[in-house]
Structure 1
């Protein structure tokens, strides 16, 4: 007699129904597990499954990039749904197992045979699906390689290659080498890594020439956009965790002598230094030493800073960043179990590492340099705060806006004596942060509602909110009407007067930035000792001689 028929005769239809459901559930598990592995492989190799391919009638590289990002997002969503489906199937299998092996009157032999049959069907389905998914993935990889090759070799005819590439050596060049050389020596190759140090240096340099409000806006936008771009496709598995590392008092802890030795070494290894400056590495280091000597007065006594870089000194961020870059390279290279990714901004670093290696890596970081001490913060409620973001690992990572418990939602009051551009800039910055940092659509709408409520409490009228959030229209003008930029000036803001002066400056191609003249902070807060007027050194200036010089002396009459 058939095994299933015997079970129905001996134990009833309900028992047989549960056993069949258990077999089907196990088969579904095998299929979904293989599908999950296939999707993870596609995600890792930057391959889009055929079912997620998107197309559009809009032509152009920007449209293609939007479609590719959308495909990646859909793949991540699909992976998350498969994970949830597997959890549901696990629960369903446990429930059916309890009904069959604990609550049913099956004999021990029948229970053993049921388990054997269920396992056999799962293994058979697993092997079949695995082979099918492997073949499908192999076809996708081959197709991608062919597309990349066609994309690389397009628009270069054979006669052009022979014209543009002359091989004067005895070595025979391969086709890929010929196609690379045919693109010319000015062809730009995509960087392997994002040049984070250069971005930070350029951002801080630009911020020095901007008013404080605009500098903070620029710094926030650049850092958050870069960080979101880096982590948007990252995933956190169950045995991994997110952790943030922060350096205690970075500027005043960095040993200047060690940092300058690193600077000297970098300069000596820079073969292109002579193209940018006539100064030698020794001269540059001596200039840095001179700039880093800082003196201050306290209670009438003069002091010299002996250790660390001075806060507020333009050279300090660059020097500290160079020192930290050298330290982190040594830390990651020598760590027994380095983090899976490590993204540092100045002294704050989020990273992903295995849970079992987090304490080991923390101890390793703090053993490298006696002057630099790292503090660390792990996940709290499945989230990690970094800059203006919260990283929430649910296998995939989503980003929202992070606010400390002490955050009061107090922004520049609309009645403040600031130019209207500054006030509208506050609105645009907060909305821009929501649009670019927050990755989930519902979270983005919630953030905008929160911003609206906060700005209304700060006195912002509806017309200002509408004006700042309306789409920008770019005015077209004749090329001949454009005046070259001849620099910029920072003027104190006096309502009506300052706007008129700016219009005058703009007629001569000079950009104007405004700064408030009297703020509450300037009136009430005095962190530094006031210097008596008699102790203030006057300006040092040079007046060209317009008269005749006395013969032999070189001095004016």
Structure 2
């Protein structure tokens, strides 16, 4: 089988049996998934959209659109080439499924909330542009923090509450007739049909955010933004922390030993969020698809 790898835009060839086995190994995690015989139907979506229609919050054409698809999402896997044994990251393919229309509708109200997020980048190009302008001090070091299994460790209820707390920053929402209660219900419904299909079996994700839903990235970004603000004050300094999804680059005066101890302390916080770390070696550290080198001649960061 030819599949896309998790990072780097690489395409790899895998044995079909190995591909299926590694995905099913993830799906057999009973803390996260359960196999079901009858997936949740779209009655709850139908009832809620009918309520919005009767309250003149949506037009009939939109109501029909939000209820037009019954197909379940499907799961595919992306091998993590940078991990031991090349474990799989599960992606839920939600386009043109029971979740897609209502998730897209909800996303239209919250996408502006990205402007409330600090130190987050949209892509590697934006990161390179920013990092090459940074001046480092002689005693500063480069290091990275990675959030472990980010999407499946973001608590849905907390992430939705953060959206509601910030939603007044959305012009689209402010100009709509929806209430905050309506939007919260809309977001919950977008994740309530968390049944997916793989190899002729149906699984339900028990909690947190599925990869593949268009709402998951922004909810994860909002949650991590809040989490970093509350718990990572020691490294969360202006022009010293850069984040792309769950990948964080920090410029720090901590030594390797001090950083490892700091990450251990972070991982003892009572939450599902955990970090791994990589400290620079020979003034170099890998981040996203780049290699960063601390240039001691001009105190800049070279990118390759």
Q: TM-score, normalised by structure 2?
A: 0.53
- Answer yes or no: is the 8 Å Cα contact 2:260–2:277 preserved in 1: no
Distance 1:369 1:198, change over 3 A: same
Q: Deviations over 1:401-431 (max 9, x none)?
A: 3xxxxxxxxxxxxxxxxxxxxxxxxxxxxxx
Alignment correspondent of 2:246: 347
Alignment correspondent of 1:399: 302
Q: Give the deviation of 1:297 after TM superposition.
A: 3.3
- CA distance in 2 between partners of 1:391 and 1:317 (Å): 26
Q: Give the deviation of 1:260 after TM superposition.
A: 1.2
- CA distance in 2 between partners of 1:304 and 1:246 (Å): 27
Secondary structure of the structure 2 residue equivalent to 1:344: strand
Alignment correspondent of 2:62: none
Q: Deviations over 1:508-541 (max 9, x none)?
A: xxxxxxxxxxxxxxxxxxxxxxxxxxxxxxxxxx
Q: Give the deviation of 1:262 after TM superposition.
A: 1.4
Distance 1:400 1:358, change over 3 A: same
Q: Give the deviation of 1:256 after TM superposition.
A: 0.8
Q: Does 1:275 align with 2:178?
A: no
Q: Deviations over 1:152-197 (max 9, x none)?
A: xxxxxxxxxxxxxxxxxxxxxxxxxxxxxxxxxxxxxxxxxx9585
For CA contacts below 8 A with separation 6 or more, give which structure has more relative contact order.
2
Q: Give the deviation of 1:313 after TM superposition.
A: 1.1
Distance 1:368 1:277, change over 3 A: farther
Secondary structure of the structure 2 residue equivalent to 1:304: strand
Q: Give the deviation of 1:283 after TM superposition.
A: 1.0
- Answer yes or no: is the 8 Å Cα contact 2:118–2:225 preserved in 1: no
Secondary structure of the structure 1 residue equivalent to 2:202: strand
Q: Give the deviation of 1:228 after TM superposition.
A: 2.4
Q: Give the deviation of 1:280 after TM superposition.
A: 1.2
Alignment correspondent of 2:20: none
For structure 1, which segment, 386-395 or 376-385, has the greater mean C-alpha deviation from structure 2 after superposition?
Answer: 386-395
Q: Deviations over 1:67-102 (max 9, x none)?
A: xxxxxxxxxxxxxxxxxxxxxxxxxxxxxxxxxxxx
- CA distance in 1 between partners of 2:268 and 2:248 (Å): 17
- CA distance in 1 between partners of 2:187 and 2:173 (Å): 18
Distance 1:258 1:352, change over 3 A: same
Unaligned runs of 5+ in 2: 1-113
Distance 1:382 1:317, change over 3 A: same
Summarize the alignment of residues 77-92 of structure 1 with structure 2, pairs less than 5 Å apart: none
Distance 1:286 1:235, change over 3 A: same
- CA distance in 2 between partners of 1:385 and 1:317 (Å): 23
Alignment correspondent of 1:414: none
- CA distance in 1 between partners of 2:245 and 2:175 (Å): 26
Q: Give the deviation of 1:362 after TM superposition.
A: 1.7
Q: Give the deviation of 1:371 after TM superposition.
A: 0.7
Unaligned runs of 5+ in 1: 1-193, 204-222, 402-557
Q: Give the deviation of 1:326 after TM superposition.
A: 0.7
Q: Give the deviation of 1:389 after TM superposition.
A: 1.8
Alignment correspondent of 2:15: none
Distance 1:200 1:271, change over 3 A: closer
- CA distance in 2 between partners of 1:301 and 1:400 (Å): 45
Q: Give the deviation of 1:298 after TM superposition.
A: 4.7
Summarize the alignment of residues 28-43 of structure 1 with structure 2, pairs less than 5 Å apart: none
| Larger of the two Rg values belongs to structure | 1
- Answer yes or no: is the 8 Å Cα contact 1:228–1:399 preserved in 2: no
Alignment correspondent of 1:330: 230
Q: Give the deviation of 1:344 after TM superposition.
A: 0.6
Structure with bigger helix share is 1
- Answer yes or no: is the 8 Å Cα contact 1:244–1:377 preserved in 2: yes
Alignment correspondent of 1:288: 187
1:367 to 248, 254, 268: 268
Summarize the alignment of residues 501-540 of structure 1 with structure 2, pairs less than 5 Å apart: none
Alignment correspondent of 2:77: none
- CA distance in 1 between partners of 2:119 and 2:131 (Å): 17
Secondary structure of the structure 2 residue equivalent to 1:313: coil
Q: TM-score, normalised by structure 1?
A: 0.30
Equivalent residue pairs, number: 185
Summarize the alignment of residues 21-420 of structure 1 with structure 2, pairs less than 5 Å apart: 195=115, 197=117, 223-267=123-167, 270=169, 275-293=174-192, 294-298=194-198, 300-333=200-233, 335=234, 341-356=240-255, 357-395=258-296, 396-401=299-304
Structure with bigger strand share is 2
CA RMSD of aligned residues (A): 3.0
Alignment correspondent of 1:490: none
- CA distance in 2 between partners of 1:306 and 1:379 (Å): 38
Q: Give the deviation of 1:247 after TM superposition.
A: 0.8
Q: Give the deviation of 1:382 after TM superposition.
A: 1.5
